[in-house]
């Protein structure tokens, strides 16, 4: 099915209550005068989760049930790629993010995250393999990381994959939505509620902050995260930005620098789902880093990019974030590390936006999280 709609950004603006990390600094919601075209190029995807654009413009897309396929820009899919390990596809678990190696043109390596079953339950794992696109096959597949410990939960896998400028791989990891386990987001003896950083082969790279700390897992980069399902490298600074789900309120944008503690579950801008306070009931504490921005009510963030400005020059450097609960694409204007304006677009699609990517021409590609998920191309109206 192919459906094209031209949407005025003014028409797509959704009124929302937005609160900055400092509540008195809420940015204005603005409306652009430009128009965009959103075209559904493929449908029938089974809860698509991650999208990675190949050098030739085709796209690798994961579906939570365990299928990875290559999509042409016209929406035509390949057959399912073979060679992936078995995934634990229950609730929020399954086949999750996908990324290509920075040197993909030479080595053909693809990386993906998934829920891996094992003794004690399951956890987020990352594997890599060499893509044979002609045969829709991954060769020489190896698991390069498994979150420790495994937990009897089907929730909060985190799971975005981002390469830094040195070629090391960041992996965001959830705290598994277990009240007896989530406290481990504050300890260094597990990967619960962490961002970790490994080499492409799964070793420990130079620069990790806790490699000499007794009892600490050397892969840990930052801690105190809840469930980060959005992550991207800031092209100006090289810093990793992550956006994590809050509970009842308190979705957070954090700049995940080495060794920082972002507070979960000691402090939060949200409440537990039963309405009780999280941890101390406070929003800040000594030694814990404040978010640069937060949403209450939540948007349920998933997927993010910094836009190059190639297709939308007026949006150069803007942050685009998928919204699951709000069913919008969120556009944030930045001044350095400060969010100064927010706009919510593509609301007329009425879809949970799971991930967003940018093609070589600057057009945006989004996937929608549904049993009949869609691949949508977003470009300037002509």
- pLDDT tens, N- to C-terminus, the chain (382 residues): 334 444 444 333 333 333 344 443 446 566 655 689 999 999 999 999 999 999 999 999 999 999 999 999 999 999 999 999 999 999 999 999 999 999 999 999 999 999 999 999 999 999 999 999 899 999 999 999 999 999 999 999 999 999 999 999 999 999 999 999 999 999 999 999 999 999 999 999 999 999 999 999 999 999 999 999 999 999 999 999 999 999 999 999 999 999 999 999 999 999 999 999 999 999 999 999 999 999 999 999 999 999 999 999 999 999 999 999 999 999 999 999 999 999 999 999 999 999 999 999 999 999 999 999 999 999 999 8
Report the alpha-carbon angle 372-377-378, nearest 5: 125
- Enumerate the active-site residues: 156
Q: In what order do the strands lie in the sheet with 228-233?
A: 228-233, 240-244, 251-255, 293-295
Give backbone dihedrals phi and psi of 147, rounded to 5 degrees, phi first. -60, 140
What helix, strand, coil percent values describe the chain, rounded to 5? 5, 40, 50
Question: Which of 153, 155, 147, 94 has the alpha carbon at shortest distance from 121?
Answer: 153
Instruction: With beta carbons less than 8 A apart as the criterion, state whether 264 and 225 touch.
Output: yes
What's the burial of 203, exposed, middle or buried (CB within 10 Å: 0-12/13-18/19+)? exposed
Q: How many CB atoms lie within 10 A of CB 55?
A: 9
Q: Give dist(CA 191, CA 150) in Å, integer.
A: 10
Q: Give dist(CA 349, CA 36) in Å, integer.
A: 13
Question: Which of 364, 372, 319, 327 has the alpha carbon at shortest distance from 347?
Answer: 327
Q: Which residue is it, tokens 């030479």?
A: 106
In CATH, what number is assigned to the domain containing residue 114? 2.120.10.30
Q: How many CB atoms lie within 10 A of CB 183?
A: 17
**Given this model, what pLDDT does residue 368 score?**
98
**Given this model, what pLDDT does residue 382 score?**
80
Give backbone dihedrals phi and psi of 53, rounded to 5 degrees, phi first. -95, 125
Domain that holds residue 152: 3-347+355-380
Give the total number of structural domains in the chain: 1
119-to-148, 157, 217 alpha-carbon distances in Å: 11, 17, 20
**Given this model, what pLDDT does residue 30 score?**
61
Query: What per-residue string of b and e applies to 28-46 under the rule 16 or more CB within 10 Å gives b?
Result: eeeebeeebebbbbbbebb
Q: How many CB atoms lie within 10 A of CB 206?
A: 8
3-state DSSP assignment of residue 11: helix
Q: Give dist(CA 56, CA 325) in Å, integer.
A: 33
246-to-49, 177, 227, 294 alpha-carbon distances in Å: 19, 11, 8, 9
Helix residue ranges per DSSP H, the chain: 9-12, 104-107
pTM: 0.94
Tell me the Ramachandran region of residue 105: left when phi exceeds 0, alpha when psi lies from -120 to 50, beta otherwise.
Answer: alpha
Q: Give dist(CA 173, CA 168) in Å, integer.
A: 16
């Amino acid at each position: 099915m192919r459906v094209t709609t031209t949407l005025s950004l003014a028409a797509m603006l959704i009124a929302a209550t937005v609160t900055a990390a400092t509540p008195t600094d809420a940015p204005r919601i603005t409306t652009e005068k430009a128009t965009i075209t959103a075209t559904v190029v493929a449908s029938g995807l089974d809860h698509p989760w991650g999208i990675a654009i190949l050098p030739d413009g085709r796209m690798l897309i994961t579906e939570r049930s365990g299928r990875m396929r290559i999509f042409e820009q016209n929406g035509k899919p390949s057959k399912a790629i073979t060679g992936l390990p078995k995934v634990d596809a229950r609730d929020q678990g399954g086949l999750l993010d996908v990324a290509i190696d920075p040197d993909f043109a030479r080595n053909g390596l693809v990386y993906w995250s998934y829920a891996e079953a094992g003794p004690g339950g399951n956890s987020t794992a990352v594997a890599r393999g060499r893509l044979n696109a002609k045969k829709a096959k991954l060769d020489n597949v190896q698991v390069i990381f498994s979150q420790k410990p495994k937990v009897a939960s089907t929730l909060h896998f985190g799971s975005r994959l981002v390469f830094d400028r040195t070629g090391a791989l960041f992996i965001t990891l959830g705290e598994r939505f277990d009240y007896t386990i989530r406290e481990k987001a504050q300890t260094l003896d597990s990967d619960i509620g962490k961002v970790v950083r490994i080499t492409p082969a799964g070793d420990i790279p130079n620069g990790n902050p806790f490699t000499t700390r007794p009892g600490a897992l050397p892969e840990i980069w930052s801690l105190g995260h809840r469930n980060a399902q959005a992550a991207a490298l800031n092209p100006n600074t090289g810093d990793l930005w992550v956006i994590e789900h809050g509970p009842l309120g308190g979705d957070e944008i954090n700049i995940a620098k080495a060794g920082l503690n972002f507070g979960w579950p000691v402090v939060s801008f949200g409440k537990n789902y039963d309405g009780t306070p999280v941890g101390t009931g406070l929003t800040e504490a000594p030694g814990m880093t404040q978010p640069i921005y937060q949403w209450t009510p939540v948007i349920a963030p998933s997927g993010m990019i910094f836009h190059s400005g190639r297709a939308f020059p007026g949006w150069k450097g803007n942050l685009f974030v998928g919204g699951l609960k709000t069913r919008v694409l969120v556009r944030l204007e930045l001044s350095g590390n400060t969010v100064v304006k927010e706009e919510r677009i593509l609301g007329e699609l009425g879809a949970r936006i799971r991930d967003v990517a940018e093609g070589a021409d600057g057009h945006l590609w989004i996937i929608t999280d549904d049993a009949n998920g869609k691949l949508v191309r977003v470009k300037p109206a002509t």
